[in-house]
Amino acid sequence: MTENLAPATVLQKTDDVLMTESEGVTVLMSMTTGNFIELNGSGAAIWEAIDGSQNQAAIIEHLQRTYQIGADQCAADVTEFSAQLLAEGLVQEAASA
């Protein structure tokens, strides 16, 4: 089940995530759970954009411009992947300022 993330939601990476890149493949691993996920190019771009300051809408807009993806498809992909990262404990909602 995909968690519904609002466009204003700001995510940040958790402190217990290890990341490695090799030959164009990015792999994330939670040191807490031992779960890992392999990222493709678009997944890696979303991961890179999650910096604790950009909300989901800003990430979608950036990726849409960068990769010339349709707005609806880009929003669906970013929201679904971000929800997956949240469910795996690799990101968390950023604290409000």
Which tens digit of pLDDT belongs to each residue from 43-73? 999 999 999 999 999 999 999 999 999 999 9
| Confidence band for 97, pLDDT divided at 50, 70 and 90 | low
User: pLDDT: is 2 or 40 the higher one?
Assistant: 40
Domains and CATH numbers, the chain: 11-90 (1.10.10.1150)
* Residue 17, amino acid: V
Please report the pLDDT score of residue 2 as a whole number. 46
CA torsion, points 87, 46, 59, 88, in degrees to nearest 10? 10
Please report the pLDDT score of residue 74 as a whole number. 94
49: alpha, beta or left? (left if phi > 0; alpha if psi -120 to 50): alpha
